Chain A
Amino acid sequence: MTAPDSVALYRMIRFIRRFEERSVDLVKSGEIVSGVHPCIGQEAVSAGACATLEPDDIVLSSHRGHGHLLAKGCDPARVMAEMAGRVTGIDKGRGGSFHPSDFSANVYNATGTVGHGSGIAAGIAWAAVKAGKSTVVMSFFGDGAVTQGALLEGFNLAGLWNLPVVYICENNGYATTLPVQTAVSGTITGRGEAFGIPSSTVDGQDAETVFAAVSEAVERARSGGGPSLLEMRTYRYHGHHTFELKTRLKYREQAEIDEWRLRDPLDIQAARVAADVRARIDDEVERELDEVVRFAVESPRPDPADATDHMYADGFRPRAGVSL
């Protein structure tokens, strides 16, 4: 296993944190109409996990996926443009914040159907194996997904056929307002173990711990050892979605948030990087994000006349009585 690059991890965590904060600003200013599911507090999972991958490896993201996209190497400006619904976005404004894909960075999918990525991941991994490739597929989902039957069906196929999938459950303690302990019978890792999938729980606040655990799983997958499940213990500092900026939902105590703030993934990684290096990185990140936001906001919106583009591979067939 290669050693983690502490500086690169710090940079990525910092980048994701500030990218998310900027995206929340763009939600407030009305540029991002959908709102977003910020991953603030969970950045070490994206940064640590994706740092173990090769460019050809494939990521399946989730609704809380900006961190996955950035860490996998998507162009941040085009990700932000996508969230803002611009034609320059990675999906020309058709995927948005919740359903993005970017094949240029091998981010294949972020299905809006919680838990259903596991079977898609298995299919991609199977096709890669049959094509003689050594690609690894990394599939991200939350704790809310582990109560979905479809997630377990995907685990079964991946386990049965020994497929190179690394399943990463970001257990941030809540599915929207529902605390994990009131939703999940048994354990999250037990769900992997039931299918013969090596499963472990990892400190998701420490990017280097994440990197080490995921590296092992990726190596196993790449060398034909089959799938793994890693439960990342983490926490989101913001609401489930930016709608919580308006509606106060009292499903957790401030004291709990404060306690998790003591283990902020940004601080944990910052402690491993010299102050002057950090200052330089922070400055670079800000300047890059200025450019990201400028690009997104100044990019053109799609022409409503193009609303049916890409609906069908062979084009949309208009019907009388339907606009367009």
Chain B
Amino acid sequence: MPKLSYLKALNRALGDEMTRDESVFVLGEDMNFALTNVTAGFLDRFGPDRVVEVPLTEQGFTNFATGAALAGRRPVVEFQIPFLLLLVFEQITNQANKFLLMSGGQRSVPVTYLMPAAGWRPGWGAQHSDQPYSLFAHMGVKTVLPATPTDAYGLLTTAIRDDDPVVFFGPLASLTVREDVDYADLGPIPLGSGRVHRAGTDVTVVALGHLVHEALAVADELAAEASIEVWDPRSVYPFDWTGLAESVARTGRLVVFDDSNRSCGMGAEILATAAEEMRLTAPPRRVTRPDGAIVGAVPELDVVLQPTRAQLAEAVRAVLKSPGW
């Protein structure tokens, strides 16, 4: 079976959609040289009318994409750095995402915002290492965070076909993940459908993005002590609450492994919802980033502030040892 990397899966999904649907086009900075590699080979395949090089004008080109979408196109907007999504936060959350409602259902804004290297960049410092997916979930913008090449293919395909704006986070730490795939098996994956990566009976670990792979490693390490279910929501908005409830019904215990900042992050939302609606036999835990910056520019300083395998193992043990409420 061929090996597919996450990055190549993005390239393939976008290329397949551009081939299938003439209205899809991609725009971003340094497109002509496919700087991020997501669009490698596209300029030759699709030409400059559908692989649109834009100047450094994020608010301008995000609004431009809204306009093109209103006129019937399906833009995919590539961003180079996570903070750029903060620069266009208003244009996505307040303009594109509210348009269908404000127009009384007349027209939707089918734009995909593609952030192919989200999260920590070793040594790149405080301003280049954000992971702001929780912010978009908070604002009710459809947001996906696939962990594997197959899921990246499936969710990028779905994001492009979706009639609403969708933000796609591809964690930097996942871009090099490779998987054996049969290309015929690749296909769209619905939003709001979680995935059990590893079945277990003692505790549910909800892992997000690249932390899925870390959680699987911890589940292996602790296999002798505990049967850990690793569950991945894959999209943070909409969220597969039913799937999570089913997992928690099996295990009764919950740990969330989330690369968001702690306050108001996805981890907080998942714990709150589980506490309100699910039958937990012991208080849940979450492992997250602290609030504030990943201080950075020196990897040694950064790694201690990010969610680690050791923290996850410690949280899992604590939840399993807990006598209950």
Contacts and interface: CB of A to CB of B under 8 A. Distances in A.
B67 A310 contact: no
Interface of A: 89-95, 99, 101-103, 108-109, 111-113, 116-128, 130-131, 149-150, 153-154, 156-157, 160, 309-314, 317, 319-321
Contacts of B19: none
Contacts, number: 143
B184 interface: no
Q: Which 5 A-B pairs have the closest CB atoms?
A: A123-B67, A153-B60, A119-B63, A92-B104, A313-B163
B113 to A, nearest CB: 14
A117 B61 CA distance: 12
Contacts of A120: 63-64, 66-67, 70, 95
A101 B103 CA distance: 6
A131 to B, nearest CB: 8
B63 A116 contact: yes
Contact of B66 (A93, A95, A123): A123
Given A124-B70, A157-B64, A309 B105 contact: yes
Most B C-beta atoms less than 10 A away, residue of A117, A314, A317, A321: A314
Most B C-beta atoms less than 10 A away, residue of A103, A130, A313: A313
A113 B94 contact: yes
A91 B102 contact: yes
Interface residues of B, number: 46
Contacts of A103: 103, 106-107
A64 B103 CA distance: 17
Given A124-B70, A157-B60, A92 B55 contact: no
Contacts of B63: 116-120, 122-123, 150, 153-154
B160 to A, nearest CB: 13
B70 A108 contact: yes
Most A C-beta atoms less than 10 A away, residue of B60, B90, B103: B60
Contacts of A92: 104-105
A149 B88 CA distance: 12
A150 B72 CA distance: 23
B57 A156 contact: yes
A153 B73 contact: no
Contacts of A108: 67, 70-71, 107
Nearest to B91: A116
Contacts of B60: 119, 122, 150, 153-154, 156-157
Nearest to A119: B63
A254 to B, nearest CB: 37
Nearest to A149: B59
B65 interface: yes
